[in-house]
Every structure is written in C-alpha cells, then in structure tokens.
A and B are shown apart, each in its own frame.
Chain A
C-alpha cells in the first residue's frame, strides 16, 4: 500500500479542521464581509481542533504516515496549547479597534495555517516533516508581521524577520542534511540508533550537525544569540501578532527541541547539555539586561520573552523526563501570562503602546490594573501565580541536573527583571495620568483576558494539574 490510509488521515483531524476552515475563509475572503465571520470561525475551528486533539491520544501513542508523525501525550499537550493560543489571539484580534487596514479574511487564514504548522511540528518524528511544518509556521508569520502594508515599520519588521528567518531555516536544513549524511536517515528513532554507534572520526561532524539543528530551533524559540529578530518583529507587528509569535512560535520551538534533543539526539546528551547551558545562560542574562532600558511595551515583552526562553531551556538541559515536563509546564503557563500582558496592551490600545500607557491606570480602571498586576507578577515569578510554579519547576530541574551555577544565574536574572515588571506596577499605582481610558473593553478582549487570568491564577495555585499532564515523549 502506497500513500496514506484513512487511519493516517484520522491522526491529522485537528490540523485538517484548521486547514478546512482556512480554505473556506480563502474562498469567502472577497465574497462576504469577513470582519466578525473570520474571527468567529477561527475561534470555532480552534475549539474543534482542540476537541479532536483531546479525543485522539487516549489510546496511547499512534504513529502514521510511515512513522513520520506520532500522536501521543506530548503532541496532544502542545496541540491543545496551540489551540488555546489561537483562541486567545483570535479573541484579541477580533476586539481590535485600529485594525482597519488589515484584510480580516487573510489575517485569520494565515493564523490558522501557522497554527496548523505548529500543531504538526509538535507531532513530527522525522526531520523532514519537522522542517516543512516549521516553514509553514514561519512563512505565515512573515506575512502576518507585514500584513499592514501601509505601515512602513511593519514592512521593515517583516523584511528583517524574513531575512533572519530564512538564514535560520538554511542552518536547520544544513544540519538536517549533515545528519542524513552521517546516519542515512531523517527519522528520529533511526538517528538515535545510528548515533549510538558513531565512529570517533565522525564525532566532529556530529557536533556540527547537532549544533546547526540546535541553532535552527533556537531561532524559533528566540534565544540568544538567535534572538535579534524578536524585538524588531514584535515592535513592527500588531500586538496580537506579536503575542502570537511570543506564545506560539516559542511553544512550538520548545516542543520540537524537546523531541529532537530528547529522542533523536539522546546519544549526544553531553553535547546537547553544553549547547543548552550556553543558550540558556546567554538568554537569561542578555534578555534580562536588555529589557531594562525598554520603554516600548512590545519591545519590553520581546526581551522578556527572550529571558523566559532561557528559563524554559533549563528544563531540557537536564535530559530527564522530569526536566522535559518542567519545560512543557513553563511553555504552557508562559503562553497565558504573556498573552495576558499583550491583551492588556490591546485593551488599552487608545493610550499608546509605551510604558506611559499604564500611568495612573489603577485610579482610572482598578480592575484592569489588578489584572495587569497579576500578569506582571506571573512574568516575574511571584507566588501564587503560574509564573512561580513554572519557574520553580525548571530551576528545580536544573538543580537536579547539577547545574547549581545556572540555577543561581536564573534566580539573579529573575530579580533583575522584577525591576522592569515592578516599574510598570509603580506606573499604574503610584503615578497619575489624564490619558483617556476606554469606558469598557471589547467583549472579545475581555473574554481573552479573563481566560488568561484564570489559567495564570489557577495554574499558580494548582500547578500539579498541568505538571501531571505534561509527559515527555
């Protein structure tokens, strides 16, 4: 039997739903007024995909398409996370008041297709589908960043993101070709088997190949020194798109890195560990220092996301199932807290996107200020928020792996970044402003903020529910 079977296609149900809705929206784009229709159908598609993903993996890991894709607990975790990201971002986009120049149909089509790539990447157990899925995600992201064609900063951001992204894709592809040359396969299981018996003369090539693949994935997660695209891309993109990149791209990069490093390169654990220690340490330090002078909120959240990517990698470098689980927990909670912070930025759209927008917010809208406080506390990592639970899990896993110095660096960086987040709090609670404040937020934005706040708070009080659910591949 050549080609996929019906059973193979059933594995792809969540992705097929997203692609199907995307195709319908493409057909509808110029035939109906797509404003609310596009956002509503995106939210329903994401919900249906989440249901399909939740129902799929109950019977244990199932492979399909000649062992190129697997549906297991690990992929299910990330598929649900991506569906949640899509719902939140669609809600935030739906409530935007300044989205006049954006073609709504195309905007949500690109988002749906990017989410499809993300979901498939979490399922991939072969480097070729992994590359294709990551490309699907990033090519849609380039267009999303530059979708406001009349805005020069948006175009500039898209070009920068595209150039650096293509370079990173080339690195990843070069790494994949070296791996294929060394092992004769691109399947994770085959690579793992072949690498355990490598001759010592091949060792330098293995190092280069592993390093190149790691660099390609590091770009998607935006860790130092592959982070330079993030602040520019986030600043030029609209806030929902920036949130989508910060939450989705990072989660998928971590998902792919978890599977590649843990399954395919399991035999090279010492090398992986050294690479990850360097990436994590650089990310935490550079991200934490660079975030200090930022006054544009999107740039601030971009550097914050770089520092958070460093923390998230702490779990992977242990190379244990518990460590991978800690990273998954981190990715999960980070999605909700960062989208909450971006959401608040969108809700206050009329006040601008700088730090000053938050001045005097507590006096004008105490509820909104309290929500922002919750997200900021979570980004800092203060109990009882999800950010604390996530940070605790990864730092504990770094300590368990014997990386005491790195754990200390992580804690010190947390303290440094606390200054930045608390400055926003000071602006909100201890300063006055006569900026106009929206009388009420759009219902969709309020819903997204409520969902993000709920997960941030409940996740902080009962982190065990997510940790138990985050099982490594």
Chain B
C-alpha cells in the first residue's frame, strides 16, 4: 500500500496547486472581459462552427504532410529500443527508410507545398 503514497501525494499536490492558481487568478486578477477573451482558446480557429462555408485548403495540405512525416517518428521509436540487436542491418534499413522520406520531403519542397501562401 505504501507504494502508492507517492502517487496520492502527486494527485493531492497537483489538485492543490492547480486549485490555488485558479483561485488566485480569479480573485487577484484584473477583469476586463471581451467576447474574444471569453472564448476558449482554440489555436485561432472558431471552436464551434457548422461545417459550412469556405476553409483554406492549405490547412489540409499541411495536416497531411504533418501526418506523413510524423509516422516516420512512430517507426523510429521501436527501432531506437532494439537497434543494438538489429546491428548494422537495422542501421542500413533505417537509413534507407529515412532516405526515401527525404526524397518525399524534397518533392514536397520542390512543389512549394511548404510555402504558406
């Protein structure tokens, strides 16, 4: 049971400090509310909107490219755990994999997909 005391302490501390912060902020902080300030922070995008109207396609292009190159990292993690056992073969394989991705990156750059126009 004593193994879990640390975790409980963390929970208590986290709840306490967070609560304290919120409490101090709401009592001591200045209050000049505007509509923009009251909106939940959502990376500059309208948090709730009906899916109608125009959306800049460049968001999708960036998102797709992000997913493509993010998956690369997903493969790197398990490789990093066992690369000693894989030896030189594993190193070469990962090099080839990253090389192919670099070719893709150069293609993306050649086509100007990374320029925010």
| Distance A3 CA – B87 CA, assembled complex (angstroms) | 9
**Closest residue of B by beta carbon distance from A4:** B89
Within B80-94, the residues touching A (CB, 8 Å) are 85-87, 89-90, 93
Would A3 and B103 count as touching, CB distance under 8 A?
no
Would A30 and B89 count as touching, CB distance under 8 A?
no
**Closest residue of B by beta carbon distance from A105:** B107
Would B90 and A27 count as touching, CB distance under 8 A?
no
Is A29 located at the chain interface by the 8 A CB criterion? yes
Would B86 and A2 count as touching, CB distance under 8 A?
yes
- Closest-CB distance, B79 to chain A (whole angstroms): 11
**Closest residue of B by beta carbon distance from A6:** B89
Would B104 and A26 count as touching, CB distance under 8 A?
yes
Within A1-28, the residues touching B (CB, 8 Å) are 1-5, 23, 26-27
**Closest residue of A by beta carbon distance from B106:** A27
Is B70 located at the chain interface by the 8 A CB criterion? no
Would A3 and B90 count as touching, CB distance under 8 A?
yes
Chain B residues with CB under 8 A of A26:
103-104, 106-107
| Distance A469 CA – B64 CA, assembled complex (angstroms) | 46
| Distance A4 CA – B90 CA, assembled complex (angstroms) | 9
Chain A residues with CB under 8 A of B89:
1-5
Is A440 located at the chain interface by the 8 A CB criterion? no
Would A2 and B103 count as touching, CB distance under 8 A?
no
- Closest-CB distance, B15 to chain A (whole angstroms): 44
A interface, how many residues as a size bin?
10 to 19
Would A2 and B85 count as touching, CB distance under 8 A?
yes
- The listed residue (B90, B103, B110) touching A23 by CB distance below 8 A is B103
Would A3 and B86 count as touching, CB distance under 8 A?
yes
Is B111 located at the chain interface by the 8 A CB criterion? yes
A368-397 Cβ-contact flags toward B at 8 Å (1 or 0): 000000000000000000000000000000
Chain A residues with CB under 8 A of B100:
23
Chain A residues with CB under 8 A of B87:
2-3
- Closest-CB distance, B43 to chain A (whole angstroms): 30
- Closest-CB distance, B109 to chain A (whole angstroms): 9
Would B86 and A27 count as touching, CB distance under 8 A?
no
Instruction: Give the 10 A-B CB pairs with smallest separation, nearest first.
Output: A30-B110, A3-B89, A26-B107, A23-B103, A26-B103, A2-B86, A3-B90, A27-B103, A3-B86, A27-B106
5 more CB-based (< 8 A) A-B contacts, given A3-B87, A4-B89, A23-B103: A4-B93, A23-B100, A27-B107, A30-B107, A30-B111
List B residues at the A interface (Cβ < 8 Å). 85-87, 89-90, 93, 100, 103-104, 106-107, 110-111
List A residues at the B interface (Cβ < 8 Å). 1-5, 23, 26-27, 29-31
